[in-house]
């Protein structure tokens, strides 16, 4: 029985392969279009795409052109070529802005770039693009049933951007490039005020300003110690019970000692 089943399976595969090869050479464009959709519905996206690519110029300007553009985009999406799929969904919207598929394709444009979004340590231009595309979708369709899902995707991507910014700033701090760390950490707080890394970012900002003051030339020490003290006040006001409190207090005492001695010398 198993042998018979295996034989039948081989026959079906060979028949299917033969049919596909004939379609590639055929001039029966209506049949090719029909079979392409059949392949798509069976999950054979590569064959469907190849057939659609072969007839898309033939049907330009006809009612089938819109469907071909739609299926081409979804073929690439289902084959996980997300960035090409995003471009094709964008082309669809530009070409057929009044289509009944327009809303779905605008969502898919953002979703494809969301799927293509890389790990936090890599370049995040695709992530930023996805956020902008999702925002465009929400602006056009504010009452969409996809709204809650999209907001979840956007929060996830903003957290990724926040983490990348945090990693970059922390790298400057750990390498003791305190001036660069201060700029980078301040940008983190400005761009991502609700970051879950906010406490550590603020701690590193204080510590960086403190180290800049300690290692500064004499002419700049007073200003930089005052800046560090101000940062300490901001931090303790927001995180009075922080895990960094003990370490920061020691640095703060050093700051106060310097400022007290400075006033005494004056």
- How far, in Å, CA of 117 to CA of 127, rounded? 5
Residue 130: the pLDDT is 98
- Residue 176 gets the label, from left (phi > 0), alpha (psi -120 to 50) or beta, of left
Q: Which CATH architecture has domain 81-171?
A: Alpha Horseshoe (1.25)
Mean pLDDT of the chain: 92
Q: What is the pLDDT of residue 262?
A: 73
Domain ranges of the chain: 1-79, 81-171, 197-266
Question: How high is the pLDDT of residue 180?
Answer: 97
Q: Which of 223, 225, 178, 240 is nearest to 205 (CA)?
A: 178
Query: Confidence band (pLDDT; 50, 70, 90) for 1?
Result: low
Tell me what percent of the residues of the chain surpass a pLDDT of 70: 92
Instruction: Return the pLDDT at 32.
Output: 93
Closest CA to 113 of 159, 146, 150, 140: 150
What is the Cα–Cα distance from 159 to 191, expressed in whole angstroms?
A: 11
Q: CA-to-CA distance for 209 and 125, rounded, in angstroms?
A: 31
| Confidence band for 265, pLDDT divided at 50, 70 and 90 | low
248's tokens: 């920061």
Q: What is the pLDDT of residue 8?
A: 44
Q: Where does the pLDDT of residue 263 fall: very low under 50, low under 70, confident under 90, or very high at 90 and above? A: low
* pTM of the predicted protein model: 0.82
Q: Is the pLDDT of residue 144 over 80?
A: yes
Instruction: Give the closest residue to 259 by CA, choosing from 240, 134, 251.
Output: 251
Give CA–CA dist 59/30, Å, rounded.
Answer: 9
Secondary structure (DSSP) of 218-240 = HHHHHHHHHHHHHHHHHHHHH-T
Give the mean pLDDT of 135-163.
97
Portion of the chain with pLDDT greater than 90, in percent? 85
Separation CA 139–CA 150 (nearest Å): 12
Cβ(141)–Cβ(103) below 8 Å: yes
| pLDDT band per the 50, 70, 90 thresholds, residue 2 | low
Calculate mean pLDDT across residues 4-28: 64
> Does the pLDDT value for residue 172 go beyond 50?
yes
Q: Residue 257: pLDDT above 50?
A: yes
Burial of 61 (0-12, 13-18, 19+ CB in 10 A): exposed
Per-residue model confidence (pLDDT) at position 138:
98
Q: What is the pLDDT of residues 75-130, one digit of tens each?
A: 999 999 999 999 999 999 999 999 999 999 999 999 999 999 999 999 999 999 99
């Amino acid at each position: 029985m198993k042998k018979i089943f295996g034989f039948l399976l081989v026959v079906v595969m060979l028949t299917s392969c033969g049919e596909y090869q004939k379609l590639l050479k055929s001039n029966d464009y209506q049949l090719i279009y029909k079979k392409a959709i059949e392949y798509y519905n069976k999950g054979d996206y590569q064959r469907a795409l190849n057939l659609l690519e072969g007839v898309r110029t033939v049907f330009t300007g006809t009612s089938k052109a819109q469907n071909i553009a739609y299926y081409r985009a979804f073929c690439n999406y289902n084959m996980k070529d997300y960035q090409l799929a995003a471009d094709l969904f964008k082309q669809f919207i530009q070409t057929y802005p009044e289509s009944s598929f327009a809303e779905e394709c605008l969502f898919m444009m953002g979703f494809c770039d969301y799927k293509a979004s890389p790990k936090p340590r890599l370049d995040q231009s695709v992530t930023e693009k996805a956020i902008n595309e999702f925002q465009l979708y929400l602006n056009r369709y504010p009452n969409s049933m996809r709204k809650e899902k999209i907001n979840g995707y956007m929060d996830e991507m903003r957290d990724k951007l926040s983490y990348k910014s945090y990693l970059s700033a922390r790298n400057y701090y750990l390498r003791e490039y305190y001036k660069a760390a201060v700029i980078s950490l301040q940008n983190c707080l400005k761009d991502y005020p609700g970051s879950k890394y906010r406490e550590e970012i603020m701690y590193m900002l204080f510590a960086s300003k403190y180290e800049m003051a300690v290692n500064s030339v004499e002419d700049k020490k007073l200003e930089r110690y005052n800046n560090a003290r101000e940062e300490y006040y901001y931090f303790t006001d927001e995180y009075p019970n922080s895990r960094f409190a003990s370490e920061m207090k020691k640095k703060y005492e050093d700051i106060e000692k310097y400022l007290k001695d400075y006033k005494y010398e004056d």
